[in-house]
Structure 1
Amino acid sequence: MASPLVFIDGDQGTTGLHIHERLRERNDLQLLTLPAAERKDPRRRAEAINASDIAILCLPDAAAREAVAAIENPAVRVIDASSAHRTAPGWVYGFPEMDAEQPQRIAAAHRVTNPGCYPTGAIGLLRPLVQAGLLPRDYPIAMHAVSGYSGGGRPAVEQYEGPSAAQAPAFQVYGTALAHKHPPEMQRYAGLDHRPVFVPAYGAFRQGIVLTVPLELRLLAPGTDGKQLHACLARHYAGTAHVQVIALEDTQALTHLNPQELNGTNDMRLGVFINEEHGHVLLSAVFDNLGKGASGAALQNLELMLAPT
């Protein structure tokens, strides 16, 4: 039997390059790429995607929609790393740890949409708590996240690594219009009734994320405390390969969170920090925006889709 043919459309972008680097040495699949002169040729791209077994789209949203529209071969399966299809009907959400059945759904899917980097942390923290009834669906969620500048794509990388890098800010909050593209995805897959308030930022480091969600215990279900929240997350992710929940005794000793701690991995580490005196809890997620938040997630989904049925 021939090895599966995988086409990376957009293999010169940040996510595509990482995926290409991870796959090019493998001998259990064939990797299809286009020469530089043909990468923007719609006809050649359509030929390539229709010739593949699995296409991984590492493209801007509009280009990803065009690529999917060009598929005529019903056997072609797609992993879309853009945000074009994250809430679209007929697409399976590519977060395997979301629930116990999600790996099977991804494995059987023809269309898989990779989660966004920030939503990976937000959904990873909130969905289990909402499903368990510990976090009300109508809780007024507000979250803050700091990502490495690679999350901004080529323009941000050029700002921090190009000729004017010395003038790049050490820290910048953006999305102040509160109209970022990620909250609809967060709301849908976390199971929230209302759009969360999301405040993102970039730091002067290349990759890594810290995302935090503050909670007030007085607004949760009666009798809910921080230990119950932690126990819920620990149960949900027990036995998963890529998501860990920090033990409560370890969070008590932590005085800071390092966004770069898990760089170069496909792991995500969740924390529950409790201040009983004030009735406050801080949920945290640390992971690599180019790993679990992008290329690593795509490769995790690829492995599931390639697995024998």
Structure 2
Amino acid sequence: MSARIFIDGQAGTTGLGIAQRLEQAGGFSLVTLSESRRKDPEARAEAMAEADLTVLCLPDDAAREAVSIAPQGARILDASTAHRVVEGWVYGFAEAMAGQAERIAQASRVSNPGCYATGAIALLRPLTALGLLAPETAVSINAVSGYSGGGKAMIADHEAKGGPAFELYALGLKHKHLPEIVRYAGLAKPPIFVPSVGHFAQGMLVCVPLHLAQLTKAVSAAHLVEAYADYYAGAETIAVRRGIWSHNLDPQALNGTNQLEIFICAHEEAGQAVLIARLDNLGKGASGAAVQNINLMLGRE
């Protein structure tokens, strides 16, 4: 019997991506509403009651409103930022912490991670969990994403002839992913986070530069590679690339997948390293992670 999924906000980028992935996977049926009823609270509540699981692909305020009208017992996966650090919600990054996949499977409320946050947490959580990076360490994060994660206005801007080749943004240093990065990376204070957008549709690189002297132990970059490999041993969606990486990296290489790769670049003599996560901002950074969480919540492979 197929699992019934209601995607509230299916017309958006993430909602469409989830629907397409569910269709490709098979074993799911979508609970849908007519165009005239999509914003009707009563109709949406009825759809939630009919579904085995509801996925919210809405702006933050609309996601909070959707939770408030959800019938008792409704299981919800929220792809917005609204509930990522809210008590009672389980963070939907299954590989980030020991036992997290089991917590997701048992939860009635799960928050899907942000795309940048997925890369940053994948890089930083092992270091804090293993005691290699003190939580109070001053950390910086640089990242570039395809324009598809920036919303309708940014997509339209980049798809217009002559759209910008590259741009920095969120230069007020208050990006909405910072709270979840701090909490789930195990940091004591927000990192300096500088995101950017390239003139390509999807794909992402997240980089954390480090002086090896910032670590709590005298370790080499090669030791860091092994530490990551041990931490993510058995993780089907995360691959740690062995050795010290020195080649160029294409942010689009994992497009269409739910994979995340970790690379360590280093200048050992200078005591410097750069930690890099590569992922599809619409895959492991959004729709792919959502489908992974749907499967966990419904007890499916």
**Structure 2 length normalisation: TM-score?**
0.96
CA distance in 2 between counterparts of 1:70 and 1:179 reads 30
Query: 3-state DSSP class of the match of 1:296?
Result: helix
AA aligned to 1:284 is: I
The ranges of structure 1 where at least 4 consecutive aligned residues each deviate by more than 6 angstroms after the TM superposition are none
What is residue 156 of structure 1 aligned with on the other side? 154
AA aligned to 1:271 is: F
The alpha-carbon deviation at position 308 of structure 1 amounts to: 6.4
The alpha-carbon deviation at position 187 of structure 1 amounts to: 0.5
* Kept after mapping to 1: 8 A contact 2:205/2:278: yes
CA distance in 2 between counterparts of 1:60 and 1:308 reads 28
Structure 1 stretches lacking a partner, 5+ long: none
Q: 1:219 aligns with which of 191, 196, 214?
A: 214
AA aligned to 1:231 is: E
CA deviations 1:107-151 (Å, max 9, x no partner) are 111000000000000000100111111111111110100000011
Query: 3-state DSSP class of the match of 1:151?
Result: helix
* Kept after mapping to 2: 8 A contact 1:213/1:282: yes
What is residue 226 of structure 2 aligned with on the other side? 231
Q: 1:179 aligns with which of 174, 179, 182?
A: 174
Query: 3-state DSSP class of the match of 2:269?
Result: coil
AA aligned to 2:102 is: Q
Q: 1:301 aligns with which of 286, 293, 296?
A: 293
What is residue 78 of structure 1 aligned with on the other side? 76
What is the correspondence of 1:95-244 to structure 2 with a 5 Å cutoff? 95-161=93-159, 165-244=160-239
2:43 aligned with 1:44: yes
* Kept after mapping to 2: 8 A contact 1:24/1:31: no
* Kept after mapping to 2: 8 A contact 1:65/1:84: yes
The alpha-carbon deviation at position 274 of structure 1 amounts to: 1.4
Q: 2:271 aligns with which of 237, 254, 279?
A: 279
CA distance in 2 between counterparts of 1:25 and 1:192 reads 38
CA deviations 1:68-121 (Å, max 9, x no partner) are 1101232x1111000100000000000010123111111111000000000000
CA distance in 1 between counterparts of 2:225 and 2:25 reads 39
What is residue 4 of structure 2 aligned with on the other side? 5
The alpha-carbon deviation at position 209 of structure 1 amounts to: 0.3
CA distance in 1 between counterparts of 2:117 and 2:78 reads 15
CA deviations 1:154-179 (Å, max 9, x no partner) are 11111122xxx123110000011111
Structure 2 stretches lacking a partner, 5+ long: none
The alpha-carbon deviation at position 152 of structure 1 amounts to: 0.3
* Kept after mapping to 2: 8 A contact 1:54/1:78: yes
AA aligned to 1:136 is: A
* Kept after mapping to 2: 8 A contact 1:172/1:203: yes
- Root-mean-square deviation over aligned CA pairs: 1.5
2:256 aligned with 1:258: no
CA distance in 2 between counterparts of 1:289 and 1:8 reads 19
Query: 3-state DSSP class of the match of 2:58?
Result: coil
AA aligned to 1:303 is: N
CA distance in 2 between counterparts of 1:300 and 1:44 reads 27
* Kept after mapping to 1: 8 A contact 2:203/2:255: yes
